[in-house]
Amino acid sequence: MTFSATKNASPVLISEIPILTLEDWRLWILETCQKNGGRIVSLLAHQEKETVRIYGILGIDSKGELQIAGLDLQNKKYPSLTPDLPEAHLFERELFEQSGIVPEGHPWLKPVRQLANYPFYQMAGEEIHEVAVGPVHAGIIEPGHFRFQCHGEKVFYLEIQLGYQHRGLEQLIVTSNPSRRAVLAESIAGDTVIGHGLGFCHAIEGLSQAEVPQRAKGLRAIALELERLANHSGDLGALAADIGFLPASAWFGRLRGEFLNLLMELTGNRFGRSFLRPGGVLFDLTNEMIIDFKKRILHAASEMKEISDLFFNASSVLARLEHTGVVATETARGLGMVGPAARASNLVRDVRHDYPTEFYRLFPIPPMRLTTGDVSARARIRSLESKRSSEFILKQLDTLTSDKILGTCEEPRGSSLVVSLVEGWRGEIAHIVLTDERGEIMRYKIVDPSFHNWMALALAMRDGQISDFPLCNKSFNLSYAGHDL
């Protein structure tokens, strides 16, 4: 066997992960991704005494299987995968930046999060001009720099430079007190507290072989779907505001507030902080709260349908959203896109369906997909998924067990690697943990869904109008913090 096969949040012993020759490692990744339905979940480097080891982690969505194999490098060089497999491009740039590994032949070996002397792409020619936007923006969005090469209003090229809020979170989780790690995981992206918090908890519970109480699993699933509902409705409101459809903007915005209020009543915080901990959750729902939640979710779902019908049936909305910022299916597959943006481009990728854990095994959510890959599809998929999330929450509220909400979580197993995947509202969140022989964390790797999708935003703008950028940007709504880490 040329790889170690495992499941979501199921640890494997590092000693059981095969270390391949360079030729075999490359062949395994290329054949799995190009011919056998695989894709890159992460490429992770770790210093092993005198050598640097790269762990390739591939996902086989149709089987719910994660394949892992290692490559030891003595001289920190290897032939780049990117020319044959574009989805590897950002992972290889990150390996270069974080570990000094040189993927020879990489066509675009630029920094990922370092800002000094960044080599921007430039074009020259009659009437070609450059437009720079950010990193400081109006409003309260995070910092990021966008540089357009244009001819008139037409965008030939967009380059996105991030890294303005790099916090060293991966190393901080390794070196911090274990009691602080859950708090740090919740801080990876402020709008994805539940998603990243759950990724951390699943990883630690997998390493500890912990048994999470059934009621806690149900409450976690409710919180994750409330987070999805709050952000999907907020995104729809932002898109409506961008095109001047103010009734929908106000209505979607109010719905976002209602979902955040429900999350606050469940967790004690509007964004779900301090709710999740390895072994379960810290807050519960009373019977009276369950009755109230059901009424409010039903009412919100009805309102979501009503305002979505108004929004998506308005000719002025369709004229603005349709055929804008198209990402074709093959482009999305080539980039390794994930989440609603991928599903809007006809790629059925959803961790809840492909790698289900906890209540998603018992109550599967069929993944949605649309085919046009434009702003309209990325907006509409949020509306469709909101309906499914509301239905799922109502089922969970009806089936919550009466046991405890927090179990015990022993020390993590030593000399192991675990991959924890969660379908956050932006898409696949990956937390990968390596432990030493004492069970201490020696490497923590985070892959936010935005890491997979930023390049797709740049490609969505090619040959489009620069005035479409705010609309395209909001239709992806990617995370700067989740990327910068």
The answer to whether 346 and 370 are in contact (CB under 8 A) is: yes
First to last CA, the chain: 35
CA distance 466 to 153: 6
Per-residue pLDDT of the chain (485 residues; tens, 9 = 90+): 589 999 999 999 999 999 999 999 999 999 999 999 999 999 999 988 788 999 999 999 999 999 999 999 988 999 999 999 999 999 999 999 999 999 999 999 999 998 888 899 999 999 999 999 989 887 778 899 999 999 999 999 999 999 998 999 999 999 999 999 999 999 999 999 999 999 999 999 999 999 999 999 999 999 999 999 999 999 999 999 999 999 999 999 999 999 999 999 999 999 999 999 999 999 999 999 999 999 999 999 999 999 999 999 999 999 999 999 999 999 999 999 999 999 999 999 999 999 999 889 988 899 999 999 999 999 999 999 999 999 999 999 999 999 999 999 989 999 999 999 999 999 999 999 999 999 999 999 999 999 999 999 999 999 999 999 999 999 999 999 999 99
Instruction: Determine the length of the chain.
Output: 485
pLDDT for res 1: 55
The answer to whether 320 and 467 are in contact (CB under 8 A) is: no
Local structure of 34: helix, strand or coil = helix
CA distance 456 to 449: 12
Residue partners of 465: CB distance under 8 A and separation at least 6: 153, 154, 155
Note the pTM of the prediction, 2 decimals: 0.96
The answer to whether 311 and 236 are in contact (CB under 8 A) is: yes
Write the DSSP string, 164-221: TT---HHHHHHHS-HHHHHHHHHTSSTT-HHHHHHHHHHHHHHHHT----HHHHHHHH
Q: Three-state secondary structure along 63-109?
A: CCEEEEEEEEECCCEEECCCCCCHHHHHHHHHHHHHHCCEEECCCCC
Tokens at 53, concatenated: 């080891």
Tokens at 263, concatenated: 């999350």
Residue partners of 10: CB distance under 8 A and separation at least 6: 206, 418
Tokens at 424, concatenated: 């956050």
Residue partners of 216: CB distance under 8 A and separation at least 6: 279, 280, 281, 404, 405, 406, 407
The answer to whether 319 and 352 are in contact (CB under 8 A) is: no
Q: Residue 51, Cα to own-chain centre: how many angstroms? A: 30
List residues bridging with 198 in a β-sheet: none
Local structure of 151: helix, strand or coil = strand
Residue with tokens 């009437």: 127
Q: In terms of Cα–Cα distance, which of 199, 174, 203, 202 is closest to 188?
A: 199
CA distance 373 to 385: 16
Residue with tokens 């089936």: 399
CA distance 426 to 409: 29
The answer to whether 101 and 52 are in contact (CB under 8 A) is: yes
